[in-house]
Structure 1
Amino acid sequence: MASLDRVKVLVLGDSGVGKSSLVHLLCQNQVLGNPSWTVGCSVDVRVHDYKEGTPEEKTYYIELWDVGGSVGSASSVKSTRAVFYNSVNGKAFFIYLYDILMV
């Protein structure tokens, strides 16, 4: 049986850039029809079998953490986000999404 390694991915960015839509697409293989605001954090999981270029198959348990991007400088928002960042300890990946507005 293949080994199971956990990978944590934090999906970060401003509000409304498509973090929830990206996570839903990656985990459910479907476009999110009617996205809503993420309050706090939403976690979704994908199991991925990696074979190419390795002597043995490896299975990854990928946790995608969609951290709410509400705009605001309130200290309560900053301290709430810190809860999700503290458990990283250098063992996670980050995806930063942004929106380019062309005028």
Structure 2
Amino acid sequence: MSSGFKEKFSHIPAVTLDNLSEADAVIFGTPTCFGMMTAQMRTFLDAPCKLWANGDLIKSWEFFTSSATQNGGQDSTILSFSHEITASWHGYSRSSIF
């Protein structure tokens, strides 16, 4: 990273799980890591099980990604996001399953 990066963006707070339920829409970006979202992003999205169960996360979700190469798996990264959100939304929001 370039020098001064942390200082330049230090005024922007890190997102928390509480921020997800308060938001009207959610936009996530992640680098492509072997055609998937990063492990840190997957861990973050797996964490709010209670919010999914309560229906607090049924809202508009948008995703973007980038990689250092053309055809570097950007499309499969977006698909991994949509699979994660769809599986969580349908699984936790249906009382007939739980």
Instruction: Using structure 1 for the length normalisation, give the TM-score.
Output: 0.25
Q: Larger relative CO (CA 8 A, sep 6+): 1 or 2?
A: 1
- Structure with greater strand percent: 1
Structure whose residues are more often helix by fraction: 2
